[in-house]
Amino acid sequence: MVYKYNPVGVCSMEITIEVEGNIIKSVKFLGGCSGNTQGVASLIAGMDIDEAINRLKGIDCAGRGTSCPDQLSKALEQIKKETA
């Protein structure tokens, strides 16, 4: 299943996440720091949703109180709620 999430408080404008069961198949960021978002997306491909949330939640970017990885964790939490 493919989900779209609109992040808040960061440079990226949209996160598209493909999930199969509880496994993240792919992630694409629209906007944001290209190298960083591509790196995060590559690292969590194939990872369990819960593991990704635990690793990404709370990461801060430049004192914003959030970051693209943190917003990705929020998107994954939303997916879990929707599929529960």
Residues 33-78: tens digit of each pLDDT: 999 999 999 999 999 999 999 999 999 999 999 999 999 999 999 9
| Residue 47, CA distances (Å) to 19, 22, 52 in order | 10, 9, 7
Number of folded domains in the chain? 1
What is residue 23's predicted lDDT score, i.e. its pLDDT? Answer: 98
| pLDDT (average), residues 4-18 | 97
Give the CATH number for residue 55.
Answer: 3.90.1010
- Residue 12 belongs to what domain range? 2-83
22 has pLDDT over 90: yes
How high is the pLDDT of residue 84?
Answer: 84
Place of tokens 């609109």: 6
Handedness of CA 49, 43, 18, 58 (dihedral sign): positive
Q: What is the pTM of this model?
A: 0.96
